[in-house]
Amino acid sequence: MSDEIDGNTILAQSLKEQGVEYVFGIVGFPVIELGMAMQQAGLKFIGMRNEQAACYAAQAIGYLTKKPGVCLVVSGPGLLHVCGGMANAQVNCWPLLVIGGSCSEDHEAIGGFQEYPQVEMSRPYCKYAARPPSALLIPTHVEKAVRLATYGRPGACYLDFPGNILQGRVESNNIVKSYIHPEPPLTFPNPKSMIEAAEMLMKAKRPLVIIGKGAAYARAEVALRQLIQQTNLPFIATPMGKGVVPDTARQCVAPARTLALQRADVVLLLGARLNWILHFGRAPRFNENVKVIQVDIQPEEMHNSIPTSCAIQSDLLPFSEMFVDELAKRKFRLAKSGEWWQELFEKCDKNRETVNRMSMDVSVPLNYYAVFHHLRMKIPSDSIIVSEGANTMDIGRAMLLNNLPRHRLDAGTFGTMGVGLGFAIAAGLYCRDYHPGKRVICVEGDSAFGFSGMEIETMIRYQLPIIIVIVNNGGIYSGFTKDDFESIQSAGDPSLVTPVTALNVETRYEQMMSMFGKEGHFVRTIPELEEAVKESLIPSDHPSIINVIISPQADRKPQNFSWLTESKL
């Protein structure tokens, strides 16, 4: 006779064995004991206030650590609340493992408590969704789920556990033991394609490198920095590709992004998809005859939207290391004095001037550029920046620099609002556990903050070093003045007359800190902002909120294109 063991313990121990470190979730029937077993097995459990935020946190920790975070939820509605999170992880190509408790099998089909077809529901959002048929098979399914979340193009997996399987006891001798899989195998580039790519780049008149979050996930930063320095190729990064090569590098042509994309004749696309973020790679945003050298771990991604001229299936780490040598062999270096660089330099200078002018306008109510410029000057340059909101995110992307990889987390490929506080919690834990002293600056529009504002309580409970900066214009996109708002509201039934984009004017979000006996910061001017940042940087064991009131009419600098609202159909 061997010892008896319950499903909760088997599951917790299997997760630990497969290298899982963090679990985010909200417990309730039937997973309370599972949460306890997880802590007992040495997994770090972070209890959150909203399942969706827990799921965002779990996937962000996956991106930051390359090991899937677990999101633990209860049955039925608990799991339904994380659909958005699963979809976001899958669309972002980030590893995630969702674990849902579910209705006991003997209550299924007769109206069980929170009964719901959970495996079927999760399947469209996942690379793997299953219910282990017995507690004895839990280790096999956990191994597979962790492997599928991280191997190939990373993504989401779901495992379903009916209450009877979690609580039931089995003989430990009968457990089907699993093994610990190694790190994902690296895919190496085809040497012939590398030569072709090198030759295409060397023949280009106006080459451009685009660095995406696939390069960030691949940890390709050392080789890519060398590649850019050695070749002097101009580059731009996608929002979360920022920092793989520093934004402050001389070759970063972010200020001339529109021109660089429109004029480039050969693009080296590294771990980024030609989706809406990159305007589908099509005219008028790209040169009609642009040749694309595309490097991606997923071959199905090639030729999407436009034909790829040179398709290279590879992990970006080995590709970048080998491509540096390939170009060094050819002594390839783009002359600074050449026409292409001159064109780019000129445009960068011109755009920097416009932005500088807007940044220096510190009149009250403040504008976005002034807020971000002065915020940037005061925050440590190695901070992890989380950002969401419409204008807040778009303008912040250009104004807040990243000089380190994986130091920007935002609404991402799915354009999801509400990710900010969950992402910040993951980043805060990552700082606390791996880089003590590092800060998370979570820059939120007032609308974005509202999606998961109660997670401030989670941040306090786990003593996380997060500074939340709310850029508050009293609305979605733009806002309203107090007078506008009052006259609107006195005009009749508020549900008929209040503009659909309106939020309350000058809501005192910073006062949420008083719920914990602490003070937040209310800011209208640049000196007040500077003082608030300085004070918020002192304690490293709790979050703070800086509520910055900006002009309801503040906007982006004039844009040449509004791609999202254009359509050819």
- 95 makes contact, choosing from ligand ADP, Mg ion, none, with CB < 5 to 8 Å by partner type, with none
**157 vs 358, which CB is nearer to ligand ADP?**
157
> What DSSP string describes 382-405?
T-EEEEESHHHHHHHHHHS---ST
Applying CB under 6 A, what is the total number of residues that bind ligand ADP?
Answer: 23
Give the C-alpha separation, 207 to 146, whole Å.
Answer: 39
- Which residues 6+ apart lie within 8 Å of 155 measured at CB? 89, 90, 93, 94, 95, 96, 126, 127, 148, 149
Shortest Å, Cβ 186 to ligand ADP? 8
Residue 95 interacts with ligand ADP (CB under 6 A): yes or no: no
The reply to whether 302 sits near ligand ADP by the rule CB under 6 A is no
- How far, in Å, CA of 237 to CA of 213, rounded? 8
Contact 177, 14 (CB under 8 A): no
CB of 247 to ligand ADP, least distance (A): 14
Residues 359-398: x/- map of binding to Mg ion (CB under 5 A)? ----------------------------------------
For 401-537, list the strands marked E by DSSP.
408-410, 440-445, 466-472, 521-523
What would the DSSP string read from start to end of 352-386?
HHHHHHHHH--PSSB-HHHHHHHHHHHS-TT-EEE
Query: Does the footprint of Mg ion cover residue 506 (CB under 5 A)?
Result: no
Nearer to Mg ion, 447 or 547 (CB): 447
Q: Is 446 in the site for Mg ion (CB under 5 A)?
A: yes
Question: Does 41 engage in binding with ligand ADP (CB under 6 A)?
Answer: no
In whole angstroms, the minimum distance from the beta carbon of 440 to ligand ADP comes to 20
By the rule CB under 5 A, 473 interacts with Mg ion: yes
**Is the Cβ of residue 41 or residue 476 nearer to Mg ion in the bound state?**
476
**Contacts (Cβ under 8 Å, ≥6 apart) of 567:** none
Query: Which residue has the closest beta carbon to ligand ADP?
Result: 214
Q: By CB under 5 A, tell whether 418 contacts Mg ion.
A: no
Per rule CB under 6 A, is residue 277 in the interface with ligand ADP? yes
Task: Compute, in degrees rounded to 10, the torsion defined by CA atoms 211, 213, 217, 220.
Answer: 10
Q: Across the strands, what pairs with 324?
A: none
Interface residue with Mg ion among 35, 405, 445, 453 (CB under 5 A) is 445
Q: Which amino acid is at 190?
A: N
CA distance 424 to 57: 7
- Residues between 148 and 177 with contacts to Mg ion, criterion CB under 5 A: none
The amino acid at 418: G
Nearest to 218 by CA among 319, 145, 329: 319
User: Rounded to the nearest whole angstrom, what is the least distance from the CB of residue 22 to ligand ADP in the complex?
Assistant: 20
Q: Distance (Å, rounded) from C-alpha 87 to C-alpha 94? A: 10
Report whether 132 contacts 161 (CB < 8 A).
yes
Nearer to Mg ion, 155 or 445 (CB): 445
Choosing among ligand ADP, Mg ion, none, which partner's interface includes residue 214 (Cβ < 5 to 8 Å by kind)?
ligand ADP
The option from Mg ion, ligand ADP, none interacting with 246 (CB < 5 to 8 A, set by class) reads none
Using rule CB under 6 A, residue 379 touches ligand ADP: no
> Would you count residue 207 as binding Mg ion (CB under 5 A)?
no
Binding site for ligand ADP (CB under 6 A): 92-93, 153, 212-214, 217-218, 238, 240-241, 271-273, 275, 277, 296-298, 301, 315-316, 413
